[in-house]
């Protein structure tokens, strides 16, 4: 099965989902998720493992963004999916 690579934006639980439409009205795919794991990826990024009701999504986020959003394992977030690329 080919892997799916998604361009995502992780929004912390501090944001109300109705505000997301104002932040970026062109992104229609917004999903609630829980952060399962945060793993360092090089010097500037972290890989965030998200559980969306049993479906797993990986999002690469800059360390600066993860810190600013106060991302931590176990918190509820909203994920905006901007684009999809299927790689075989």
Domain harbouring 48, CATH code: 2.40.50.100
Domain that holds residue 83: 3-87
Number of domains in the chain: 1
Helix or strand or coil: residue 47? Answer: strand
pTM: 0.69
Cα distances (Å, whole numbers) of residue 80 to 10, 27, 32, 57: 6, 7, 9, 11
pLDDT digit string (tens) for 15-54?
Answer: 555 555 555 566 677 788 899 999 999 999 999 998 989 9
Q: Model confidence at 4, in pLDDT bands (50, 70, 90)?
A: very low
DSSP 38: E
pLDDT digit string (tens) for 48-78?
Answer: 998 989 988 888 888 998 898 889 999 988 8
Beta strand spans in the chain (E): 3-11, 29-41, 45-52, 55-62, 76-87
């Amino acid at each position: 099965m080919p892997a799916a690579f998604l361009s995502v934006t992780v929004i912390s639980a501090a944001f109300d989902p109705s505000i997301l439409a104002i932040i970026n009205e062109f992104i229609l795919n917004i999903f609630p998720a829980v952060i399962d794991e945060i793993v360092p990826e090089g010097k500037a990024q972290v890989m965030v493992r998200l559980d969306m009701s049993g479906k797993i999504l990986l999002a690469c986020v800059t360390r600066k963004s993860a810190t600013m959003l106060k991302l931590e394992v176990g918190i509820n977030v909203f994920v905006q999916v901007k684009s999809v690329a299927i790689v075989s």
